[in-house]
Structure 1
Amino acid sequence: MKPVMIVGAGPVGLTTALALHFYGLPFLLFEEDQTLSRDTKAGTILTRTLETFRRYSVADEVLARALRVEDIGGIDLATNEPTMSVRTALLSDDTRYPFVINLPQHHLEPILSEALEKRQPGALHLNHRLNGFQQTPDGVTATFETPDGPRQVEGSYLLACDGGRSTVRGQLDIPVEGLSLDVRYMLVDLKLDLDVANPRDYPYLAYFSDPDEWMILVRQPHCWRFLYPLAPGAEPPSHDEFAAKVRRFIGEVDSLEVINTVVYRVHHRIASEWRRGRIFLMGDAAHLITPMWALGLNTGILDTISLPWRLAWVARGWASDALLDGYAREQRPLAIHGSGEMAEVARKYMGGEGDVGAIMSGSGWGIAATRTLLGVRLGTDESAQWSMVKHDRGPLLVGDRMPDFQLHGGNGRPCRLHDLVDDRFVALYFTDARRRPSIPHNRPGLAHFVVSRWDAPLDSGLRAQSLLDVGDRLLMRIGCPPETLVLVRPDDHVAAIMPIREGRALELYQAIVGKDVSPAVGQDA
């Protein structure tokens, strides 16, 4: 197979490269700059992104350098009193990461690139500016400008992770729909002691809301970050003006040192197409989201969950090309009406222009799931209704993310559902293991497990494919009756919830991948 070409080595491009390595696909990553970006950008990584980093084996490195946050707080500027609180600890049964983390993007990117270099040395090619590309029947040929002159590269696919001013999107002449608002934000990183010299009890992620002036205060691993709007046409403030602004929000402090600043525009713009043959748009090349509630970078990481496994299934011959169409069909509504509109509601709320009742209503669990992107439901088929908002911990529906629940495997050791789902579909049969139900043997791309509160006897022949669900806790969490089949995709999302019937899992799997993978005569399904 020709390598998959990735253009752009920001967080989405780097994570995509790690994903392709995880799935065993050859790839090359190209970046036009001489170094990775050192600009002050996104600073909060949500739980769903951490789950992605876990799958691609980089979560431990990221967590070691990050600040974990389990309380996201709103504060009224006039009274300095809390207005709302998001407690991610309520998600402890659903994920192994019941928190979000604060880590600046320019600290995240080296972690991802270092991990990539260890796994595939030389895969990242700096100083490669894309000049043009041409599709062929079996791939894409791209031309790059390098310090050593033009370089032509042949690949199987081209993944555009080259940002909001995407060269790939521009050369394909794909329109961008939406708005670039006449709104600017200023982001400032400060050396400031709010722990000992000037102790404050603000959450590590604090939203100061006010109709006249609002600010977001973020505790980064080694500094504090302030984010606030600039008045239309206003110049960035001087040091003294900024110091006065800081003191209006948090009171007197003994000293503060500005480390870095950046001013950027607010966008809500979505590409009208995300796929053109063998070329795909990802991250900011596909969607520019208002940077509120950390929905910019983290929405881009959702793309790295959705597309790579599809490419792997097609490359392995396990799926038809039509499987790739599901990437844009499922992810684009989330960017347009999900992350995009949610971020806009949050932006207006901070400025006193509206409320977040439709998003922040319901149980504490629902609010936490929504804010961490664990509440994403994909439109996986015509019957599944996509959503990004959870109000309560109700029964799972088709398209929902399967909780990363802890069960006990046939080897006696605890296991997590997401570990079982890595790189395959998983069919879960909720039935009585004592009755020795007949389930198919595992096959490449599709595994089968009996889930029961009754441990499978050693003479049942089911031990290796059994999961002990103590107290039927997972069964109750899903909200399905006994004798139910739940099919989970490699991206952790539920593909089907149906009564158990012989051969049904394989039928469902074949319908999704668009290919007949029936076993040969004499082989198990």
Structure 2
Amino acid sequence: MNTSDSPVAVIGAGPIGLITALGLVAHGVPVVVFEAGDELSAETRAGTILTRTLEVLDRYDALGPVLEASLRLDEIGEVDRATGTSTGSVLTSALAGETRFPFVVNVPQHELEPVLASMLAPGTVRMGHRLVDFTQHEDGVTLQLSTPDGTVGFAAAYVLGCDGGRSTVRERLGVEVGGHTLEQRYMLVDLVCDLDIAHPRDYPYLAYFGDREEWMVLVRQPHCWRFVFPLAPGRDEPASDELRDKARHFIGEVGSLEVLGSNVYTVHHRVASSWRDSRVFLLGDAAHLITPMWALGLNTGVLDASNLPWRLAWVLRGWASEALLDGYEAEQKPVAVHGSGAMAEAARAVMDRRSDSVAGWRDAMTRTLLGVRLGADWSMTRTGPLRVGDRAPDLRIFGLRGPVHLHELCRDSFVALHLTDARRRPFIPADGPAGLRQVVVSRWDAPHDSGLRSRAYFDPGDTVRERFGDVVVLLRPDAHIAHIEPWTAASWQSVQDRYLLEVRLAG
């Protein structure tokens, strides 16, 4: 890092703050996380992690411990409450050709947060540090933090506000939040009951019971079942006996039901007017409050945590200009405003039986957030040829020592894939601008005398070329496509110029 010796300060140790910190660490950026509370959250909150989030965790070397703590599932079921019959399921196994993780997982937030925090170096997460104020300077930000030992100062290179819907960072910036709040609230309750042996039900581990009068979501967590259902405006929070009766109303008599915890959500679709002020950024709920339906709340925030860390790393390494940071809000805000917002409305329509759910490949791409396209032509699903802004499919190819996947190639680098014939000895430079690698992907293994062995990958059956075409494609560190064009002998120069444009160094 050659522009500042100060670490990046992350405000808030919820899932988004912790995943953002893990992303910065994965890119070699020093980071400190400040959390106002004395302990991580123990509330009954978000519980499903979608496939795109699993890919982000894998890229940040954080997936293994999360999977150990989770319950994996390959079916998102839709059930008609009145009849108890299935109305269709989204089968994530349809995505086996798209990702190494063709499933989603269930894990309660209060169990997820300690797992994420444990993967950060000791001293990275500082509990009992409440942000009071901050002052921006040309080369950094000075923070004032309230601690048990009094007010302390801290010098940071950047500040990332991951401090939730009541964000202090957003308040200090004076940023307004627009949108609406639904009158309807959501009740979430964790119950222990036997639906496996004594009272088998065979429900999918994630099941949406749709009904025009009252819907319910049933989530199998590692140690309990989670029930989510709507509360009418003004309705008091039900007592434990009422919660047990409500569960039986949907799933029938199942013997004893033990209430472990509950929570009431106010449902929003509200987005901050601005996500950046110089060296200060907003992420997650601080930037957008999205309904938790279809697991959109946490997982939309993880898309923010996927987009910003690599940009900061490129700037701090001197590989990009500060203008690269402008792309964070430009890309992520449309996803929150239009993409997740539209999905939230679709979710409510399906649950209220105002719309039918379908269960094909396109729906699996949408419901797992693998179909998110970034950029001006944002989309939550894609059809047709791969385009700029799409998440690249995580296809398998082979290096000199065995299999490797496309997302692994670009974990901490832009990578240009030249989909051409390695036998013809295309010129691919060994050196170039910092942060860019150029490689050949070919169904013809590179001959030993080609000079390409270290920069060539074997593609049996032309799998990658069949998906992309005869092109050169530039992948970003977050596995989204930055550029794609027909391949020519001069593509190496074209890609190099395009990379410099992407990182705002061209011209």
Bin the TM-score by the shorter chain. Answer: over 0.9
The offset of 1:248, in angstroms, is 1.7
350, 357, 381: which one aligns with 1:389 = 381
CA distance in 2, matches of 1:386, 1:405: 23
CA distance in 1, matches of 2:71, 2:441: 36
- AA partner of residue 106 (structure 2): N
- The residue number in structure 2 matching 1:373 is 369
Measure the CA separation in 2 of the matches of 1:60 and 1:274. 31
Matching residue of 1:109: 113
Q: Give the equivalent residue in structure 2 for 1:520.
A: none
C-alpha distance in 2, partners of 1:516/1:170? 36
One-letter amino acid of the structure 2 residue matched with residue 507 of structure 1: D
The TM-score with structure 1 as length reference comes to 0.93
Deviation of 1:386 after TM superposition, in Å, equals 1.0
> 1:516 Cα shift?
4.5
Q: Which residue of 2 aligns with 1:91?
A: 95
CA distance in 1, matches of 2:320, 2:36: 33
Counterpart mapping for 1:196-215 below 5 A:
196-215=197-216
Kept in 1: contact 2:391–2:480 (CA 8 A): yes
Contact 2:131/2:143, CA 8 A, preserved across alignment: yes
The answer to whether residue 304 in structure 2 is matched with residue 303 in structure 1 is yes
Overall identity of the aligned pairs, in %: 57
Q: What's the secondary structure of 2:236's corresponding residue?
A: coil
Q: State the shift of 1:500 in Å.
A: 2.7
Query: SS of the counterpart of 2:89?
Result: strand
User: In 1, distance between residues paired with 2:411 and 2:158?
Assistant: 23
Question: 1:492-507 alignment to 2 at 5 Å?
Answer: 492-501=479-488, 502=490, 503-507=493-497
The residue number in structure 2 matching 1:331 is 332
Is residue 254 of structure 1 aligned with residue 255 of structure 2? yes
Name the CA distance, whole Å, in 2 between partners of 1:28 and 1:264: 30
User: Which of the numbers 356, 360, 366 marks the counterpart of 1:364?
Assistant: 360
Q: 2:424 aligns with which of 435, 457, 460?
A: 435
Q: CA deviation at 1:50?
A: 0.5
Matched position secondary structure for 1:347: helix
Contact persistence 2:189–2:243 (CA under 8 A)? no
| Structure-2 separation of matches of 1:171 and 1:507 | 40
The two structures have a TM-score, normalised by structure 2, of: 0.96
Give the match for residue 59 of structure 2.
55
For 1:8-157, what aligned pairs fall within 5 Å after superposition?
Answer: 8-116=12-120, 120-157=121-158
Partner amino acid, structure 1, of 2:128:
N
Separation (CA, whole Å) in 2 of partners of 1:12 and 1:142: 20
Q: Which amino acid aligns with 1:375?
A: G
Map 1:232-247 → 2, pairs under 5 A:
232-247=233-248
Deviations 1:7-35 (A, max 9, x none): 10000111111111111111111000000
> What letter matches 1:169 in structure 2?
R
- What corresponds to 1:523 in structure 2? none
Distance in structure 2 (CA, Å) of the matches to 1:212 and 1:425 = 50
The answer to whether the 8 Å contact 1:375/1:400 transfers is yes
On the 8 A contact 2:15/2:298 being kept in 1, the answer is yes
Task: Select the residue among 475, 479, 483 that pairs with 1:488.
Answer: 475
Partner AA of 1:42 in structure 2 = A
Out of 442, 446, 450, the residue aligned to residue 456 of structure 1 is: 446
CA distance in 2 between partners of 1:286 and 1:54 (Å): 24
Query: Higher mean Cα deviation, 430-439 or 500-509?
Result: 500-509
Distance 1:166 1:236 in 2: 26
DSSP 3-state at the match of 1:295: helix
Amino acid at match of 2:484: I
* 1:199-255 Cα deviation digits (max 9, x unpaired): 011100000000111100000011000000011111122333222221221111111
8 Å CA contact retained: 1:290, 1:344: no
Q: Distance in 2 between matches of 1:412 and 1:133?
A: 49
Q: Is the 8 A contact 2:37 2:127 kept in 1?
A: yes
Amino acid of the structure 1 residue aligned with 2:275: W
Match of 1:420 in 2: 409
Q: Extract structure 1 runs of 4+ deviating beyond 3 A.
A: none
Cα shift at 1:412: 4.3
> Offset at 1:177?
0.7
The CA deviation at 1:442 is 4.2
State the 1:182 CA deviation: 1.2
* Structure-1 separation of matches of 2:180 and 2:245: 33
Structure 1 residue ranges without an equivalent (≥5) = 518-525
Distance 1:326 1:58 in 2: 25
Counterpart contact for 1:178–1:269, Cα < 8 Å: yes
Query: In 1, Cα distance between the equivalents of 2:478 and 2:241?
Result: 49
